[in-house]
Structure 1
Amino acid sequence: MRKQQTIKKKFSYTGVGLHTGEDVTITCKPLAVNQGIKFKRVDLPEQPELEVTVENVYSTIRCTTLGTDKWQINTVEHFLAAISAFQIDNLLIEIDANEPPVTDGSAKVFCQFLQEAGVEEQEEEVTIYQIDQPLYVRKGGQYLTILPSDQFKISYTFVSNHQGLTDQFAEYVISKEVFNEEISSARTFGFAHEVEKLQKAGLALGGSLDNAILIADDGPINKLRFSNEIVRHKILDIVGDMKLIPEFRGHIIAVRSGHELNFELAKRIKGLITKEELSC
């Protein structure tokens, strides 16, 4: 058990959206106990809100999107990963566009703002669930499973048939310190041959070498921050996507998985929690 947490003071940040290419501002404010993580679209007339839960996922195509048929918030996974690492349970995120700023393509900037805002312990306790049986999802050559463990651990194998990339592996027990030092600065990535297609579809309009690793035929164009930066970013995405469900302990093992499988596993874990109430 641990106490619920929020931030000590509000903060704002303005940057470009990865897919829209437009400026967007987020303002984060403390919330009282048992309120959860909430997004609020302040640019829309009714300023609608939704809670960050797996039930409110709208799409997992190339990113995790929350929302309804009328409005959405895209690419939430990087910010959610930082919130997860800092164990923030209650937070209001006001946003004036349909996606958070991409920053440098990682979660590092969000971690810095959370560190500066400070974390405040609250009165109510958090229930942390213990996975007591294996769960497994698969799609083609993509695999994702979770095994019982008394830690939140992620092992990821990145397998690529791209001539400019090698297979990569990384494994971490996730904590605030490990996330900050080893994972938070790993950037999102994309392939040069896909850029034109994506932009014609209205995606990646804000993408640049300042906020993404661009992979050409012979490999990454950017200088990498880690030799296995790509697999570290895939772990970052899993941390963010698992913030969609109650906190748990288990060992996630991934092979080539992305947001779609992350979402499917999150639903399976949530179903197990709801059915059996597996509190630690």
Structure 2
Amino acid sequence: MVRKQRTIKKKFSYTGVGLHTGEDVTITCKPLAVNQGIKFKRVDLPDQPELEATVENVYSTNRCTTLGTAKWQINTVEHLLAALNALRIDNLLIEIDANEPPITDGSAKVFYNLLQEAGIEKQKEEVTVYQFDQPLYVTEGKHYLTILPCDQFKVSYTFVSKHQGLTDQFAELVISEEEFKKQISSARTFGFADEIEKLQQAGLALGGSLDNAILIADDGPVNQLRFSNEIARHKILDIVGDMKLAPEFRGHIIAVRSGHKLNFKLAKRIKRLITEEALLC
């Protein structure tokens, strides 16, 4: 199947704290013409390098999805990419003056709302949406990701916890614009109290707080959850963001214990399969 490409009607800027640096960072999102893709531009660097948000440009999947090269990177792009994927935005320039977007409240809600407020504009050219006719899967130990044929974009996630303060969680949702907004966009990232000191000593999570993350202590979440299965929902949010790095498709993703590393492997397989076999709906 095909649909019209989309961009935003007007540019906007947003300033907030970076999760890992703890410093203010500003992003400015601008409309782009057809067939340009989602591009990040580091305006704080002398030559203002830019790259497209595609699976080929993933630099690291350690605790977040990082795009870039050995010389420069942009970390924690998955929340913004999740909002772009849910809104089916194909062409956008994201100017950023640091090495990570603002963490906002730890979810995709702020980005989703800003993009909606900027307005979504259909463009003249079309984009192909691919359809799987057979299962596809990647695994690593007890971590699993599978895509089954489906005429919708659907994600099921099973969060299996070894932490004494958490129980296993499950969530399953069709990723439409409205369902993403209501059920997924506000699900926040999370971290464990016993890891905070080690992370900060390594120069990470310097901007983390109860305002932008769920903190898990020995006896469970410190802050009030927005959903009883908010962790599983945030894992779905991450999958939606990481799948923006692959060509658009329809299918049912079933995930067990997966994270950014496995999401990246699946996105690579999707891109390779579509490129090699041209799976056209």
Determine whether 1:271 maps to 2:256.
Answer: no
Greater shift, 189-198 or 128-137, is seen at 128-137
Paired residues for 1:104-115 under 5 Å: 104-115=105-116
Shift, 1:213, TM fit: 0.1
Determine whether 1:158 maps to 2:131.
Answer: no
TM-score, normalized by length of structure 2?
Answer: 0.99
Determine whether 1:232 maps to 2:233.
Answer: yes
Counterpart in the other structure of 1:177: 178
Counterpart in the other structure of 1:7: 8
Q: Deviations over 1:140-194 (max 9, x none)?
A: 1111111111111100000001111010101011100000000000000000000
8 Å contact kept, 2:86–2:176:
yes
The percentage of aligned residue pairs carrying the same residue is 84
Counterpart in the other structure of 1:188: 189
Determine whether 1:69 maps to 2:70.
Answer: yes
Secondary structure of 1:75's counterpart equals coil
Secondary structure of 1:112's counterpart equals helix
Moved over 3 A (4+): none
- Match for 2:172: what amino acid? E
- Match for 1:272: what amino acid? L
Counterpart in the other structure of 1:262: 263
Secondary structure of 1:89's counterpart equals coil
Paired residues for 1:1-280 under 5 Å: 1-280=2-281
CA distance in 2, matches of 1:29, 1:235: 27
Secondary structure of 1:244's counterpart equals coil
CA distance in 2, matches of 1:111, 1:150: 24
Secondary structure of 2:139's counterpart equals strand
- Match for 1:232: what amino acid? R
Greater shift, 47-56 or 134-143, is seen at 134-143
Unpaired segments of 5 or more residues in structure 1? none
CA distance in 2, matches of 1:176, 1:25: 25
CA distance in 1, matches of 2:136, 2:280: 17
Q: Deviations over 1:192-236 (max 9, x none)?
A: 000001101111000000000000000000000001100000000
- Match for 1:94: what amino acid? E
CA distance in 1, matches of 2:111, 2:196: 26
Shift, 1:93, TM fit: 0.1
CA distance in 1, matches of 2:49, 2:132: 34
Secondary structure of 1:105's counterpart equals coil
CA distance in 2, matches of 1:132, 1:199: 46
Secondary structure of 2:26's counterpart equals strand
Aligned residues: 280
- Match for 1:65: what amino acid? T
- Match for 1:210: what amino acid? D
- Match for 2:46: what amino acid? P
8 Å contact kept, 2:55–2:264:
yes
8 Å contact kept, 2:247–2:270:
no
TM-score, normalized by length of structure 1?
Answer: 0.99
Q: Give the aligned CA root-mean-square deviation in angstroms.
A: 0.5
Secondary structure of 2:258's counterpart equals coil
CA distance in 2, matches of 1:62, 1:181: 25
Shift, 1:137, TM fit: 1.1
- Match for 1:32: what amino acid? A
Shift, 1:110, TM fit: 0.4
Secondary structure of 1:275's counterpart equals helix
